[in-house]
Amino acid sequence: QVQLVESGGGLVQAGGSLRLSCAASGSILSFNAMGWGRQAPGKQRELVATISSGGSTNYAESVKGRFTISRDNAKNTVVLQMNSLKPEDTAVYYCWGATPRSYWGQGTQVTVSS
């Protein structure tokens, strides 16, 4: 079974940066798209960044220009570089992949203090 495992979450001050990594149990080439979603308390989970197998990226408007998603096929990882973090970015961040069946990781907490 495909597994996605996130790492890199933590506590940072507003304006700071974090890098989240998602490690897949198998080749990420199995996914036609991968990405990151987040869920804040009391809110719906939302996709914030996606990357296709061909390298095409999409970002939620709220993170555009601040977050960058990238892929390392050799390491079977997907990375979310988060810069200029804001308190409203505070959420549990989940790695996502579609084969097109959707898979989600267990999540990693990101907390941005004001």
Q: What's the CA gap between 28 and 41, in Å, rounded?
A: 30
Task: Give the pLDDT confidence score for residue 28 in this predicted structure.
Answer: 86
**Do residues 22 and 105 make contact, with C-beta atoms less than 8 angstroms apart?**
yes
Is residue 12 scored above 70 in pLDDT? yes
For 30, phi and psi rounded to 5 degrees? -70, -20
Average pLDDT for 30-56:
95
For 107, phi and psi rounded to 5 degrees? 100, 150
Helix (H, G, I), strand (E, B) or coil at 83: coil
